A = this chain, B = another copy of it.
Amino acid sequence: MDDKIQIKQIEDVELENPIIFEGLPGIGFVGKIVVDEIIKQLDATKFAELQSDYFPPQVTVKKDGLIDHMKNEFYYVKDFGEEKRDLVILTGNTQATDYDGQIAISRELMNFFADLGADKIFTLGGIGTGEMVEKNRVFVAGNDLDAINEVIELDNTHIRKDEGGSIIGASGLLLHYAEEKDVKAVCLMGETPGFFVDPSAAKEVLMVLFKLLGFEFDLEELDEKIETTLKRLSLNPQFNPNMMEAQQAPQPAPSDDLRYIG
């Protein structure tokens, strides 16, 4: 393993060909919102943590003033969905930002998932439009035609028309490294303006997962977040287009403002 990456096992858990959800911070924090909702509502259990010197050199501050370090976290849920499968969820407060780090960490993640006997991986993210969207569509890509087609039959799912368009960060690289390990992988991308944290896009991605895997839960909290976001936007209708650019790179965890300390 790359010596700038450590995976610390917290609980020794037996998993049977789990499904994997990846939801690291990215555009609109769409993937992260999705998986953090699932972790909370399905009461998932944390069983491992990845730390890395590739992560940004910073800490975050919690409600009580205690700091938290940069990390990716692994959770599991038993008896998930219609088929009562094992589910593993990857979340975190950061992604590596440079090329070497993104490549090394995505490879380690895929190795870790393959060692768990992963059956199929869903990488979850946002796709930035740069402008407000009426209805957040969900775009699909993957390394297996059958897996793509299974999604494309559902409502509100699409294949991108801009052939050659890119998928950056872990959401993209995991598709490629999964292919090298013969693991089926699908990426679901919620359409989002890209310049704010977007629970609406997350909800649409979640709806696709509901239909695909036959699980469901209370959307009330997510609906409240959507309402709060819409209220804020109506109060501040003009966005700084420069923020777009910033959002296109993988990013640390969302914060309500842009204040940093050095």
A162: contacting residue among B99, B100, B143, B256, CB under 8 A: B256
Give residues of chain A (23-76) contacting chain B, Cβ–Cβ below 8 Å. Answer: 25-27, 53-54, 56-67, 69
**Residue from A64, A164, A250, A255 with most neighbouring chain B CB atoms (10 Å):** A164
- Interface residue A130 (Cβ < 8 Å from any Cβ of B): yes
Contact B67 A141 (CB under 8 A): yes
A164 touches B262 (CB 8 A): no
**A84-92, A112-120, A170-178, A225-233: which lies at the interface:** A170-178
Minimum CB–CB distance for A62 against chain B, Å: 6
14 additional A-B residue pairs with CB within 8 Å, beyond A130-B258, A163-B256: A56-B168, A59-B176, A61-B163, A61-B166, A62-B163, A63-B163, A65-B160, A66-B145, A67-B187, A126-B262, A129-B259, A162-B256, A164-B254, A165-B256
For window 198-249 of chain A, which residues contact chain B by CB distance below 8 Å?
247-249
- Is there an interface contact between B261 and A57, defined as CB atoms closer than 8 Å? no
Q: Once the chains bind, are A142 and B66 in contact (CB under 8 Å)? A: yes
Contact, CB under 8 Å: A171 / B262 = yes
- List, sorted by A's number, 20 A–B pairs whose CB atoms are closer than 8 Å: A27-B260, A27-B262, A57-B173, A61-B167, A63-B163, A65-B140, A65-B142, A67-B141, A67-B172, A67-B176, A126-B262, A164-B255, A165-B255, A165-B260, A166-B260, A167-B261, A168-B260, A189-B261, A248-B262, A250-B262
- Within A144-163, the residues touching B (CB, 8 Å) are 144-145, 148, 152, 159-163
Number of copies of this chain in the oligomer? Answer: 4
The listed residue with most B CB atoms (<10 A of its CB), out of A100, A127, A152, A262, is A262
**Shortest CB–CB separation between residue A130 and chain B, in angstroms?**
7
Whether A125 and B165, one on each chain, are in contact in the complex, defined by CB atoms closer than 8 angstroms, is no
